[in-house]
Amino acid sequence: MTEVFTAISGLLGQGEDLVLARVIDVKGSAPREAGASMLIRRNGQIEGTVGGGLVEAAAIKKAPAIFSKKCFARLAFDMTGTGLTTADMVCGGKMELLVEYLPADRETQNIFTGIQGCRRNNHRSFLITGLPESDEGTGVLPHYLVSPGSACSTGSDGSADVLERLKDAVHSLAESSQIEIADRRFWVDVIRNTGTVYIFGAGHISREVNDLALRVGFMTVVLDDREEFANRARFRQPAEVVVLPSFDDCLRGFNLAGDSYVVIVTRGHIYDKAVLEQALRSQAGYIGMIGSARKKETIYTALLAGGFTQEDLNRVHCPIGLKIDTETPAEIAVSIVGELIDVRAGKRNEPG
């Protein structure tokens, strides 16, 4: 879900309207859980998935009409096998999709930009969509964004009273689900920060790491002291790109916490060492540095002589990435992001 919302924010910001499909109800066994989402562009390109097979095909087939009429539709699927002539959807359950038009207007852009801001600041947020009573209809559905310290809405029924009642209702939700207020039903997406990757160095490997990390739901920040590398031509939205005066004091202004992932892939030993020293003084949940055994030994020896302990160095994943045979920047990125995914899953499964 988070990677889909990240893509929506970027595309709406470029003035592109979209269709969003979401699983809003599941009973029994289904190909995706409630909350799974997929965006559909006018050219047919998709991001995310609502289950593949006939379910996904139905949403994609419906999208041109949604674009044309600027409307919405609810699609129901029975996968119990009863009455089906194909085995594609025999999962044993039922599911319902909401397929809706998202205009690239200022109000809708503000909603999805707000979601990204909450994730970046490690705040949980709630995207609330007014559910229609009918299976199909024209008009844009109302949306509300509730987050710590702020709330905003789109649509004609975005009254202050409705917004206040929604704020009170959603904060106890742990997972995305439907709620009912004053005989009206709403779908609530519960959105958490799934981790921010700070990529130090903006070379070839960094580009691949950035793109892949975004695709699996991370936020990304790319930092380098070379503007010819750290720029929007190489790293598009929604990545944040920072041109540093130097790698000295490069973490100033960043509050690295347990959901922060530091990836050190600069252009030389001296810069890697400078970043690693600062990262070890932070609360980052993951620190990884690219390099050979000799490079690791040289830098670690210098850090130990400078007052760091072996326990400090044990926090570092070096050489960075899963132990697979890699050669190209893209292959190295798969190794690195694979390790980030593994570490993130471990944190998610920790007790408490």
Residue-range domain boundaries for the chain: 2-191, 196-348
Rounded to 10°, the helix 204-215/329-348 angle is 40
Helix (H) or strand (E) holding 213: helix 204-215
Question: Where residue 290 falls among pLDDT bands split at 50, 70, 90?
Answer: very high
d(CA 300, CA 308): 9
Q: Which amino acid is at 11?
A: L
Question: Where residue 208 falls among pLDDT bands split at 50, 70, 90?
Answer: very high
d(CA 112, CA 12): 8
Neighbour-count burial of 98, counting CB atoms closer than 10 A to its CB (0-12 exposed, 13-18 middle, 19+ buried) = buried
Say whether pLDDT at 85 is over 50: no
Task: List the Cα angle 299/219/263 in 5-degree steps.
Answer: 10
Mean pLDDT of the region 53-75: 93
Mean pLDDT of the region 261-265: 98
pLDDT of residue 27: 86
d(CA 288, CA 294): 16
Mean pLDDT of the region 160-165: 75
Lowest mean pLDDT among 2-11, 58-67, 119-128, 307-316: 119-128
Mean pLDDT of the region 48-77: 92
Bond before 103 cis per omega within 30 degrees: no
d(CA 265, CA 288): 9
In whole numbers, what is the pLDDT of the chain averaged over residues? 88
Say whether pLDDT at 86 is over 60: no
Mean pLDDT of the region 104-124: 86
Coil vs helix vs strand at 278: helix
Q: Give how far the C-alpha of residue 317 lies from the chain's centroid of Cα atoms, to the nearest Å.
A: 23
Q: Considering the chain, what percentage of its residues have pLDDT values greater than 70?
A: 90
Residue 126, CB half-sphere, CA atoms under 13 Å: how many? 28
pLDDT of residue 2: 77
Task: List the Cα angle 158/164/169 in 5-degree steps.
Answer: 110
Question: Where residue 205 falls among pLDDT bands split at 50, 70, 90?
Answer: very high
* pLDDT tens per residue across span 133-153: 888 888 899 898 888 766 666
pLDDT of residue 87: 46
How many residues are there in the chain? 352
Mean pLDDT of the region 164-184: 84
Evaluated on CA atoms 339, 286, 330, 116, the torsion sign reads positive
Strands 260-264 and 37-40: unpaired
* pLDDT tens per residue across span 23-45: 998 887 776 788 899 999 999 99
Question: Where residue 349 falls among pLDDT bands split at 50, 70, 90?
Answer: low
Lowest mean pLDDT among 26-35, 261-270, 300-309: 26-35
Who has greater pLDDT, 314 or 30?
Answer: 314
d(CA 156, CA 143): 10
Q: Looking at domain 196-348, which of 3.30.70.1170, 3.30.70.1710, 3.90.1150.10, 3.40.50.720 is its CATH number?
A: 3.40.50.720
Neighbours of 214 (CB within 10 A): 23
pLDDT of residue 191: 86
- The answer to whether 262 and 221 are in contact (CB under 8 A) is no
Q: Considering the chain, what percentage of its residues have pLDDT values greater than 90?
A: 57
Question: Where residue 155 falls among pLDDT bands split at 50, 70, 90?
Answer: low
d(CA 344, CA 286): 9
Question: Where residue 90 falls among pLDDT bands split at 50, 70, 90?
Answer: low
For residue 136, give both structure tokens.
């199909």
Lowest mean pLDDT among 54-58, 103-107, 235-239: 235-239
Coil vs helix vs strand at 235: coil
- The answer to whether 207 and 329 are in contact (CB under 8 A) is yes
DSSP string, 130-178: EPPSSSEEESPPPEEEEETTEEEEESTT--HHHHHHHHHHHTT--S-EE
d(CA 304, CA 309): 6
Which residue is it, tokens 């999208």? Answer: 63
